[in-house]
Amino acid sequence: MNRWASLILLFATTFSRPAHAQCYTRLSQDLNCNAVDVLDEVLVDLDDPLCLENTDEWGVPYPNADYYVEYFAFGCEHLTSDMDLDGDGFSRGTVTFLDTDGLPSTTISLICDNCPSVPNNDQMDLDCDEVGDVCDNCPETVNVRQEDFDTDGLGDVCDNCPSHPNDQTDTDGDGFGDECDNCPEVENPVQDDSDLDGIGDHCDNCRWVENIDQIDTDADWIGDDCDNCPLVPNDQQDVDGDGFGDVCDNCPSYPNDQTDTDGDGIGDECDEDTPVTDEDDGDTGDESDADSGDEEPGGEDSAPECEPGGESGDGSGGGPGGSSGGESTGSGSWDDGDDEWDDDDDDEPKSGLCASAAPLTPTMQSIIVTSMALVVLFTRRRDRGLRRVHSLR
């Protein structure tokens, strides 16, 4: 029964201990660092002249062994009071003993004051790292070396910005002080920064594009440097994948460079009313000429064969080449003995040459021009239709 009671007591004691060990001392004074209170130390032999000569500030000889280093080995040869710099009753220092030849033979270190320059009689050490709380730059975190890179008085192991002096303010509570937190108002304990611009991913409006200024003109939480519509709030949808968001793309279904020749807000790539350019004329002119060449007045196919001697040139007409018996010279003139048909005389009328071909009336000219325009328009629309089919493929 007693065994079980002991186990239960041990278990309860173990789990009822505080989070920190809370190292401290109950000694009122221990100058010789032997863990014996001054009140329990043995008295020195005051008959020894050396012990009698060692007195305190009031001229009273030191009464017991607590005031001497290794009293039982060296007597009253070395005082400990000289190693209590802060006067709190605990020493920290080193004593070197000399041999008979005057050379050092033994060194003894006294280390029982965990804050040798700051008085702390209770030697309280919450983290038990042998550095007293009153001089520990991380009193609740073990840090024997007391490293403080930014010299702000807080040890690196407990400083939320070890490289930046700060007052430890941590607005988002993620363990990183505002002074060095890449998202001081958004909790991000990992401090991810994909684009290395100093702005954490959790609060960077261009996570993959460096933009230190974080400018967001349209206030859609997407920075201008990575927003496909920087002036229009949008969800970044881009159906045609041309880098321009649908809400600001003048041809949202056709990849294009946003060229808008007629300025109507519809890109040339998808605008059916785009003005004809010189390039367009060059592309369609040959085809329109080919399509309408047979109909063009004065062409080789449509022009009537006119020969001297009337309409048919068979000699039956009343003009040259008819029954009058003239002949052609083969040199662009008609020699019938008469100068009427001689090309050398430009002032004379040539009534016998293609006399049956009548000139075009204004109405006929208008019809021909309109027909040609329709052919050109039809050809252009056909070419645009072919380009759209190719782009959709």
SS3 247: helix
Q: For residue 183, what pLDDT is reported? A: 97
In terms of residue numbers, what domain contains 80?
38-111
Q: With respect to residue 51, please indicate whether it lies within any of the assigned structural domains.
A: yes
**Stretch 181-186: mean pLDDT:** 96
Both structure tokens of 380? 């252009």
Instruction: Give tens-digit pLDDT for 197-248.
Output: 999 999 999 999 999 999 999 999 999 999 999 999 999 999 999 999 999 9
Residues 134-183: tens digit of each pLDDT: 999 999 999 999 999 999 999 999 999 999 999 999 999 999 999 999 99
Q: Specify the number of domains making up the chain.
A: 1
Residues 6+ apart with CB under 8 A from 275: 261, 262
Residue 196 · residue 209 · CB < 8 Å: no
153 falls within a domain: no
State the amino acid at position 104 in one-letter form. P
Q: Is 254 exposed, middle or buried (0-12, 13-18, 19+ CB in 10 A)?
A: middle
Calpha distance 83→94 (Å, rounded): 8
Residue 80 lies in a domain: yes
Predicted pLDDT at 8: 44
Q: pTM higher than 0.85, yes or no?
A: no
The pair phi, psi for residue 50, each rounded to 5°, is -65, -40
What's the rounded Cα separation, in Å, for the pair 117 and 88? 10
According to DSSP, residue 86 is labeled T
Non-local CB neighbours of 21 within 8 Å, separated by 6+ positions: 126, 127, 128
Which residue is listed with tokens 């002249």? 49
Which amino acid appears at position 55 of this protein? T
Mean pLDDT (the chain) is 80
Q: Give pLDDT tens digits for 57-115.
A: 999 999 999 999 999 999 999 999 899 999 999 999 999 888 888 888 889 999 999 99
Residue 45, domain member (yes or no): yes
* Residues in a beta bridge with 55: 61
Any domain includes 71: yes
268-301: per-residue pLDDT in tens? 999 887 665 555 554 444 444 444 444 444 444 4
Residue 124 lies in a domain: no
- The proportion of the chain whose per-residue pLDDT surpasses 70, expressed as a percent, equals 72
- Asked if residue 69 belongs to a domain, the reply is yes
Per DSSP, 157 falls in state: G
HEC states along 3-53? HHHHHHHHHHHHHCCCCCCCECCCCCCECCCCCCCHHHCCECCCCCHHHHH
Residue 358 lies in a domain: no
- Of 373 and 133, the structure prediction assigns the larger pLDDT to 133
Residue 356, token pair as written in the block: 């049956």
Do the bridges between strand 334-335 and strand 92-98 make them parallel or antiparallel, or are there none, so unpaired?
unpaired
Termini Cα distance of the chain: 91
- CA–CA separation, 118 and 278 (whole Å): 92
Which of 143, 180, 184, 146 lies closest to 160 in space, CA to CA? 180
